A and B are shown apart, each in its own frame.
Chain A
Amino acid sequence: MSKVAFSSWGRQIVDNRQGGDAEVPVAKKKLPVTFDGEKQIAALMGWDGLILNDPDVDVVAMAAEYARRVQEDFCCAKCSPGKKGTRVMQDTLDRIVAGQGLESDLETIENIAELLKNCKCTLCATSAVPIVDTVKHFREDYLTYIKGTPRPGKKTDYKVKLTAPCQDKCPAHIDIPAYIEAIKDRQFSEALSIIRENMPLPAVCGRVCPHPCETACRRANVDSPVNIMVLKRTASDYEWKHNLTPPTQPKPRKDKKIAIVGAGPAGLAAAYYLALEGYPCTIYESLPEGFGGGMIAVGIPAYRMPRHILQRDIDIISAMGVEIVYDTHVGRDISLQELKDKFDAVLLAPGAHKSKPMGVEGEKEGYQGFLAGGIEFLREAYMGKPTGMGKKVCVVGGGNTAIDCVRVALREGADEAILLYRRTRKEMPADSWEIDGAEEEGVQFQFLILPKKIVVDDQRRVIGVECVRMELGEPDDSGRRRPQPVEGSEFVVECDTLIPAIGQDPELSFITDDTGIGITKWNTVVTKFVPLKNAEGRDLNDPMGNPLSRILITDMDGVFASGDAEIGPLTVVACVGNAHRAARVIQRWLEEGEAYLTDDDFHEDILSHLGVYDKNEQVSWLDAVDRFHQAEIHGRERAAKGNYNEVELGYKDSIAVQEAERCLRCYRVSMIAVQ
């Protein structure tokens, strides 16, 4: 079914009901044909209109159901037009469907829709959008109901989900508008409870999250996005700054036990949600006690993530009954098979802690001053071990790890820290504020430069790196212009330390062939998935290229995978979201014997693929208050040797409340008719 019968999505009317085969790109490319691999998507109703794949869907009944769900399940009732207006909407549509409607009711619907534009937030206001579309474009269908002769529509099931652009974009799907509203109401503890429903490491993601949510903030269409991350930090810091006890109360303890490999964000998050459900979890962590947290601990320096605050988040999880066995390397100290035998389920979340090789001449020679990799350097620096670093340090790479390395190098006492990157600043994958931070601390940047060969002295000590100049050519798949070497531009950058930081791989040698667990060509764990295809027959994938709707169970029964080792190296928040799903799948598997995704999981995936945020939307709002920035320590002294004090300082509560007041609370309801 590649043809759409009708679409008003994106406010573009395409009507093929009377013939014609005009295309609706979003329906063709972004929407899967099936909801869950089996049931066909007959129609989608939402904030941006209606997509009708199947012309036999009873649009009037669907609109009535949509109005009912908005009013009864989602309307917060915190503004008068919303609370009462959606009720009038629901009752008017109900009357029509019951055969008691009048033609004037159609005017009422449009009148209410107008009034709903005055709502406090967008939930009720956007809910009127598809309903009015149906009144405008399916008037005949309404009139047949009103005249008492409705045509029998196809029987469809409705799947409904509340979402918001930010919440959709957040890989952990935190209910961002809800916690921001709680902060606005000075309910900091409630805000934190809301955050914890999807994010058990709030102090962490309140500090070091790349906050994709803010790229989907509608406030940006007015002035600048809401500072969602720092508001999360505010809620999280409020708790420990007031010595409040976290209110988490696990359910009564259950019998079945889960082993988790790795105490990183994925392992901790899965343990948190399984422990909440009453499941005893044991996490095996290869690093010693005091270094829990995985990549958050060893990959994110303390000036970005103070250790006592990370440790508090870990301690809260431990206090829920999660046992963390430190200093235990799965595959060396205990085998995967032993875990499988001892526990009812095993979750693999080992992370990605091995630096990728750089491919320069001499990197395998074991030269003094050529370090194993960025992530190893950060880990050793953090653990207080000798890093082998000298005084003039070159770091190769353009991601956050590379930036962390140069900034840590300064704090470890380097006289000079130089970052070498083959493209320009604009193309750097590192977060712009991290690059700014490094610059402020005195890091030198060399752009459009590619290391070719390590230069050493007769003692096999690094004395420099031979590089070649690059220029930008045509854009590649990622849309970034491809760098090309400039012939004959070779030169040497002097240094005594060279650190490659161009990416990490999971270390999966503990997964032996006999387990049957597949490993992808990107060195990640293969997990089962539900294939979803769009109308063009293409597989739908997530932005990392993985199948969109993964069940997160491996090919070995009872063994699941999550985190960087499953997704590919990404972010804390992505690992947490992925682990939360893994925890739910594990619970289903333990309780029902089957690992599967629910309608809500599918709906979540479908919406994230469809996209809830529209950067081109004209948002009408007075831009009276621009984004508040958190306080920050400035000056080079903040990166002085041994100074790992936190650089960013968060908000005062009163500023947080003002920033929260900028939120437009962009809730919206999606309803998918399936058959």
Chain B
Amino acid sequence: MVNLTIDGKSTSVPKGTTILEAARQLDIHIPTLCWLKKISTTGACRICAVEIEGVERPMTACNTPVKEGIQVTTQSPALTKTRKQIMELILLNHPLDCPVCDAGGECHLQDTCYELGVNRQEFKAEDVNPEAIDRWPLIQQVPSRCILCEKCTKVCHELIGADALFVNDKGDRAFIDKRVENCVYCGNCVAACPTGTMISKPFKFKARPWELKKTASICTLCPSHCEIDIQVKNNQVYRFTSNDDTTHNQGTLCIGGFFGHDYINSKKRLTTPQVGREKASWNEALNRVVTEIERVKEQHGALAVAGLSSPRLSNEENYLFQKLFRAAIGSNNIDTEARFGALRGLRALNKGLGLCGASNRVEVIGKADAILVFGADPSAEAPLVDWQIQNAVRRGDGQLILATMRHTHLTQFASSHLTYLPGSEIALAKGLARLLLDRGLLDDAELARTVTNIDELKADLADVDLNAIAATTGLSLASLEQAADILGTAKNVVIILGADILKSSYGISKSAVIANLAVLSGALTPQGGIFPLDDKGNSQGVLDLGVYPESLPGYQAYATSKAKFEKAWNCQLPGRGLDAEGILQEIEAGKIKFLYLAATNPATFANSSRWLKALAKLETLVVQDIFPNAVTELATVILPGTTFAEKNASYTSLDHQVRKTTRALASVGDSRADGEIFSELLGRLTATATGYDQNAILEEIRGLTDLYADADFNTRQWNALGSLPYEVPEQSLKYQLITVSDHADGLQLLLGKSMSHFGTTTTFATAVAEVEGTGLLQISPGDADQAGVKNGDTVQLTSSSGTLTGQIAISPRLPQGIVFAPVHFPALGAAALIPDGDNRIAVSLTKV
């Protein structure tokens, strides 16, 4: 600890603390303009300068660390004079367009002038008055308002790693310029700008900050669940903001959070119920659903009814959905798209590690010494994880191992690049495991303490042929050894697996070998962890609440816990139900006649054409969603649901944090919150009271499960579910023996998430669509050369299950042999080419 006095008050702070931080701890206010807690200090504005006894010049408090025994003065006539004069210089030729400036009402420059009593201008200089920069998409830059605090360039470079913004030119002409090709349109520059220099074009001139009603909520586009304030005027969402000091995301948002909200008020929203092609009242529509359910049940039995719910919906809604089907309809034919992703991870992690998802809080990622990202693109799938990874490897000294088929945004920060051949994930994980053994990097005592089948583990590793693995993965032994050394010598290890693992065939086996790696590398500690990523907003909630036939809410096996729920719900529950694949087969077989699609669109599922063909065979298709799509075209009844912004509900994040959304605007048009629709149907079918009561539902969940015991929704202090961080009990881990192997031949079409879009939802957000409006087929320069195609050319991809035509974009991020298609654009038709439950297929490419 270092002792010092500030304005006569003594204090003791840790070494490395800045004078500014020490002063704030003493509640001594030092003015700042360029200081921002979450980035490195800049020292640009100079108004935080303080006097230190014995040092002739004033020192800037923001970036001067404390020294033992110093005496600091923060207020003096000389300092006041200097601060005021520097403010005058900052204000020199600052435009007087405050009345129309976008920062009006929240201008930090104005506030600071007011605070320092800067009320005159004694300097003059020629006003160069540079033109506003309007040529960048979504963001306008008004250089004349810029005070060059560099907050924008620093959030861009340090937090996001985009490095798009930079200071260009010299002297008074200097301005913030942009390498537009690097921009990821996260909007953090706009959020960080203390003046009206960086402006969101969609927000510009739309509203004054004080007119907007702020509602604290979370963004549910992905499982990061960044905390936001939804800002609304006249039942219209104008912007999302996030507070640096009070949110777990430290105020940082991604493109989805910052620019992706205008789908909420999109004119394309479904706002009226429809029966057949006709608009209908809610009563008519709901009646039709009820009568159809009763008719089908009567004619074909309850097993002819099935439903798919969605990770876009809340915990309460998913709870209601499964209850509606199981208790009110009497069918356990329910599932969600988590079947093709998150559920696979759950299976493997549960079997091997006893986990129901991530083993720890995301914050540990930011402090890890080694991070293995395996088959994941965290920047796209859960940006918060990306930011935490950058915390670890850029602000800290952690090392990143990227085991991915293609290069991503994080590639630039990785120390080890294991760019493996498609289908070689299991081999790669086994190779790393064997190298941990060979290089003496295993903690034998800990393995003996925790692993039940240590002999099987040893035997399995002994069988690994490293040369074969090098050949299968396409990686050199040296690069595998380097990665194993990083993983094996690090103290705090984090392993992240994502879409390329979970959504691919053999996803459970692939997850299992990665779970094995977590055991072997010692990732299962309070300072480490394993994190499966599913890009959808509430996949964890879907699993928690048992929206799949094998399980009741709270991970209670259906068969064994049925009786408990029958008692609680006072009904007879059906027997085994069908999963998504079973439902599809039974629709095709003509046995399932009624399907309820709640906020889910099979046109985005793998083998989507098979789904669409099957849906056409149904007698009744109920579609509850917010936008028209390929399945609303086929619907018997359309029920317009709402977005999270229109709901009071809770969601579970990728690290088991349960956070709530608060209704920030009335349901758009005649739409209804999905939970209200389920409650209404539940009421009508069981002839009980209707109405959605969030607290009552949560109470019911708490009563029947171990979930949410700690969650307190009355404060912003969300509490954890379960006892994280996870500590491994004795003899609780199982090394999983995996003998299957995936493979790939020829050019592969890979389906995945883009960095800009979230499901199909954000394709209805105009700002995001401006960045990525259509689905392009990304291909490597080498493959483009070989096929004789250029950027923008149209090509045809043909797989064993079909053909698609699309435009290509040549991307150096792709290795030769992979064509990447974003999953968000059903019109591109990539999902139709992919086999069931997979994310990849061999294709041939021809120029059209």
Contact = CB atoms under 8 A, between A and B. Distances in A.
B116 interface: no
B65 interface: yes
Contacts of B55: 620-622
A233 B126 CA distance: 44
Contacts of B67: 622-624
B44 interface: yes
A77 B172 CA distance: 7
A653 B397 contact: yes
Contact of A79 (B43, B64, B417): B43
Contacts, number: 139
Contacts of B150: 78
A47 B312 CA distance: 64
B172 A661 contact: no
Contact of A118 (B66, B82, B124, B158): B82
**Most-contacted residue by chain B among A83, A112, A187 (CB, 10 A):** A83
Nearest to A618: B56
Contacts of B169: 77
Contacts of A549: none
A115 B89 contact: yes
A358 B489 CA distance: 50
A249 interface: no
A303 interface: no
A186 interface: yes
Nearest to A115: B85
A80 B86 contact: yes
Contacts of B49: 118
Interface stretch (A68-76, A340-348, A495-503, A506-514): A68-76
Interface residues of A, number: 48
A87 B125 contact: yes
Contacts of B167: 76-78
Nearest to A125: B57
Interface in A62-116: 70-81, 83-88, 90-91, 108, 111-112, 115
A244 interface: yes
Interface string B142-161: 00000110100010011000
Given A76-B170, A79-B44, A624 B65 contact: yes
B148 A78 contact: yes
B412 interface: yes
Given A186-B40, A620-B56, A624-B66, A80 B170 contact: no
A185 B40 contact: yes
B46 A79 contact: yes
B396 interface: yes
Contacts of B65: 624-625
A88 B59 contact: no
Contacts of A119: 46
Interface string B87-131: 001101000000000000000000000000000000111100000
A83 B171 contact: yes
Contacts of B52: 622
Contacts of A621: 55, 57, 59
**Most-contacted residue by chain A among B60, B89, B174, B395 (CB, 10 A):** B89
Given A76-B170, A80-B44, A120-B46, A652 B125 contact: no
A294 B590 CA distance: 81
Contacts of B412: 242, 244
Given A77-B167, A186-B394, A652-B397, A117 B148 contact: no
B89 A185 contact: no
A102 to B, nearest CB: 11
Contacts of B70: 622, 624
B43 A72 contact: no
**Most-contacted residue by chain B among A77, A184, A623 (CB, 10 A):** A77
Contacts of B85: 111, 115
Contacts of A80: 44-47, 86, 89-90, 147-148
A118 B148 contact: no
A76 B59 CA distance: 20
A190 B147 CA distance: 24
A85 B46 CA distance: 13
A241 interface: yes
B542 to A, nearest CB: 38
A243 interface: yes
A52 B65 CA distance: 42
Contacts of B12: none
B397 A620 contact: no
B282 interface: no
Contacts of A84: 89-90, 92, 123, 125, 172
**Most-contacted residue by chain A among B56, B86, B417 (CB, 10 A):** B86
A654 interface: yes
A118 to B, nearest CB: 5
Interface in B45-80: 45-47, 49, 52, 55-60, 63-67, 70
B43 A88 contact: no
A253 B109 CA distance: 52
B86 A115 contact: yes
B90 A86 contact: no
A184 B147 CA distance: 21
Contacts of A76: 167, 170, 174
Interface string B391-413: 00011110000000000000011
A187 B157 contact: yes
B683 to A, nearest CB: 58
Nearest to A624: B67
Nearest to B46: A118
Interface in A102-145: 108, 111-112, 115, 117-120
Contact of B46 (A81, A108, A652): A81
Interface in B392-444: 394-397, 412-415, 417
A237 to B, nearest CB: 11
Interface in B164-196: 167, 169-174
A77 B170 contact: yes
A140 to B, nearest CB: 25
Contacts of A618: 56
Interface string A166-204: 000000000000000000111100000000000000000
Contacts of A657: 40
Contact of B171 (A86, A111, A118, A620): A86
Contacts of A85: 89
A621 B63 CA distance: 12
A620 B86 contact: no
A72 B124 contact: no
Interface string B431-460: 000000000000000000000000000000
Given A76-B174, A620-B55, A661 B63 contact: yes
A621 B124 CA distance: 31
Contact of B415 (A186, A242, A623, A625): A242
Contacts of A86: 171
Contacts of B66: 624
Contacts of B57: 117-118, 620-621
Nearest to B41: A661
A301 B124 CA distance: 61
A75 B171 CA distance: 5
A83 B125 contact: no
Contacts of B123: 84, 88, 108, 112
A86 B125 CA distance: 10
A120 B147 CA distance: 15
B394 A81 contact: no
B124 A88 contact: yes
Interface string A334-365: 00000000000000000000000000000000
8 contacts: A77-B148, A111-B85, A115-B86, A118-B46, A118-B82, A186-B157, A622-B67, A623-B67
**Can you list the 8 inter-chain pairs with the closest CB atoms, starting with the nearest?**
A77-B174, A620-B56, A84-B89, A624-B67, A75-B171, A87-B172, A71-B171, A652-B397
Given A76-B167, A120-B44, A654-B397, 12 more contacts: A71-B170, A72-B171, A75-B171, A77-B174, A79-B45, A87-B92, A108-B123, A120-B60, A184-B40, A186-B394, A241-B415, A623-B67
